[in-house]
Homo-oligomer: A and B are copies of this chain.
Amino acid sequence: MSTQTKRIAINFGGGYVPGLNAVITGAVLAANEIGWEVVGIRDGFDGLLFPDGYPDAGLVPLDREMVEHLAGASGSVLGTAARSDPFHVRTVNPENMVEEVDRSDELLQTLHSHKIDAVISVVGPGALSILWRLSRKGLKTVAVPKSVENDMAATSLSFGFDSALSFATETIDRARQAAESARTIGIIEVPGERTGWLALQSGMAVCADAILIPEIRYDLHKVAARLREKAKAGRSYALVVAAEGAAPVNGQAAPAAGRPPVDSLRASLSPGASGDEGAHVIERSGHVAERVALELQRLTNHETYPLVLGQLVRGGPPTAADRQLGLSYGAAAVRALQDNQSGVMVSFQPPDLKFMPLLETINKVRTVPADSVFVQVARALGISLGN
């Protein structure tokens, strides 16, 4: 055991994901057991970079009593920070111009002055590289992977995914009733900029008629043919589940920029994409649902309606499975530090929790393989995958 590390910090990068609080609980309980203190940094690294903005100067002492009730609580006691990057901090310079400043050195000094020996960061795919760069500068750090899309290749399961799947499934069930009651074709868009896990698994759970994912280019003529077939057999409604990043066979994924104001408003229904990072791709959301709804209405001559679940599946309380995973990740991160590891990410490789060098985790996307059991089962159930 390291005798140097005595006081560690925890923070959240990226947007909200169900189960954030459980990671805190896991880390604090595990740290307390070995006599360490834990403090939370508010809003990513903002609590340290802008302490004046906080009544508590941006740091929250975390003790057993405080965290014991947190594991199942929704929300985030430390805030979140989709845009907090200490290497690129937006500042107003003396000439009154906005510029980006690298405050990473200052951040490390501030951590040092607070006698914080190491930082556990709960991050999505986007913030991993920030953490890695801080790590290269000498910060002791352990990453915990979160993603409602389950798109990080370095772990078989990111926490937040099971909760997102659970709420998406429940909500699409409601959309099915609406579609059935109104005899329309419902097009439901769920998070998944780069991967289709959430669309595929929720779509299968509700026995959708078609599921469109980024990994398989879709041809709506084929989907429409399938729907017409079912309509002939008596079905008066249909349900299509699409990932944000689904794209047509002859075309591109939904556009990301240059849209008129109304659209950008609407699109922001879903404040994030690619797991949890979000802000930068906020403009994309909603486009797939609309595009598919328009074209399918044209092809089937049947009324369609689009529904975008983006933001809703990123909120809410964690499922039992995510509570467990969050607690385990938090405890494992402490163990990594105890074992003097740094610059690693906790990775679930069933049935074990392991540690992967951060560099090996960056920009590795966990896509749906063409021969995935979910793909096979979906096809066996007669669900069109758009091709």
Asked whether A357 is an interface residue with its Cβ less than 8 Å from the other chain, the reply is: no
Interface secondary structure of A, over-half rule: helix
> With contacts A169-B320, A303-B268, A381-B29 known, is A178 near B314, CB below 8 A?
yes
Q: B373 touching A353 by the CB < 8 A rule? A: yes
Tell me the minimal C-beta distance from A47 to chain B in angstroms: 14
Residues on B with C-beta less than 8 A from A196 are: none
Q: What chain B residues lie within 8 Å of A234 (beta carbons)?
A: 65
Contact with B along A170-190 (1 / 0, CB 8 A): 110111111011101000000
**Identical chains in the assembly:** 4
Are B178 and A312 in contact, CB atoms less than 8 angstroms apart? yes
Tell me if B205 and A271 are in contact (CB < 8 A): no
Chain B residue numbers with a CB within 8 Å of A177 are: 16, 74-75, 314-316
Q: Is A211 an interface residue (CB 8 A)?
A: no
Q: Which residues of B contact A269 (CB under 8 A)?
A: 305-307
Cα distance A65–B304 when bound, in Å?
Answer: 21
A236-259: CB near B (< 8 Å → 1, else 0) gives 000000000000000000000000
Chain A positions 291 through 307: 1 when the CB is less than 8 Å from some CB of chain B, otherwise 0: 00110010000011111
From A184, A314, A331, name the one whose CB has the most chain B CB atoms within 10 angstroms: A331
Which residues of B lie under 8 Å from residue A32 when comparing CB positions?
382
Please report which residues of chain A, range 342-385, place their CB below 8 angstroms from some CB of chain B when the two chains form the complex.
350-353, 372-374, 377, 380-382
A69 within 8 A of B: yes
Some 13 contacts from A to B, beta carbons below 8 A apart, are A16-B181, A64-B233, A74-B173, A74-B177, A82-B182, A165-B321, A170-B316, A173-B315, A174-B314, A177-B315, A305-B311, A327-B377, A331-B377
